[in-house]
């Protein structure tokens, strides 16, 4: 596991959520490139918004696209936050991020899509599914923090140094060291 995977804390969860946001943005970039070289297919976020947020149809097309992406990025950030809540022993496994990304995709395919009535997802061929799987693999790699590992936790070492400073400082001439 090593020192690069800190215990779960608020900052660890927030960083994982931020990585989820960045990962969802990266997925948007991948989708933009693949759509430019292949036939345009409606993405799962577009299908969900079209079916379940009909008020967006009243907006201009570019606003619909922007709001759809914002919703997807929010979902990605939430997924990253959930990853950050996983136990340290799970997050410490190098395969946990990619497996998590694929699990999110499979969970959508077999659970969320049928629940939301997004049927067209199951009508796509192998190539489309392979690209979506790779998209979610990228998401998992980014969320797992393997591209930008967690900072080493030095908080306990810092506390010990501060306590040592306080012990060495005599009464009235004591150096004021803020508590951490």
Whether the per-residue pLDDT at 31 is higher than 80: the answer is no
Whether the per-residue pLDDT at 156 is higher than 90: the answer is no
pTM greater than 0.85: no
User: HEC states along 22-78?
Assistant: HHHHHHHHHHHHHHHHCCCCCCHHHHHHHHHCHHHHHCCHHHHHHHHHHHHHHHHHH
3-state helix, strand and coil shares in percent for the chain, rounded to the nearest 5: 70, 0, 30
Residue 50: the pLDDT is: 79
Instruction: Find the mean pLDDT for residues 115-139.
Output: 79
Instruction: Delimit the domains of the chain by residue range.
Output: 10-149
Residue 159: the pLDDT is: 59
């Amino acid at each position: 596991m090593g020192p690069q995977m800190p215990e779960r804390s608020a900052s660890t969860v927030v960083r994982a959520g931020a990585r989820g946001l960045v990962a969802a943005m990266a997925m948007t970039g991948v989708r933009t490139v693949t759509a430019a070289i292949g036939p345009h297919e409606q993405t799962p976020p577009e299908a969900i918004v079209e079916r379940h947020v009909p008020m967006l149809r009243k907006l201009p097309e570019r606003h619909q696209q922007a709001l759809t992406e914002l919703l997807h990025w929010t979902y990605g950030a939430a997924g990253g936050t959930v990853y950050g809540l996983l136990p340290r022993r799970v997050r410490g496994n190098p395969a946990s991020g990619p497996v998590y990304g694929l699990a999110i995709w499979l969970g959508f395919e077999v659970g969320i899509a049928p629940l939301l009535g997004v049927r067209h997802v199951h009508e796509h061929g192998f190539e489309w599914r392979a690209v979506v799987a790779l998209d979610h693999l990228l998401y998992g790699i980014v969320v797992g923090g393997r591209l930008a590992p967690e900072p080493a936790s030095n908080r306990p070492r810092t506390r010990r140094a501060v306590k040592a400073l306080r012990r060495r400082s005599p009464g009235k001439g004591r150096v004021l060291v803020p508590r951490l």
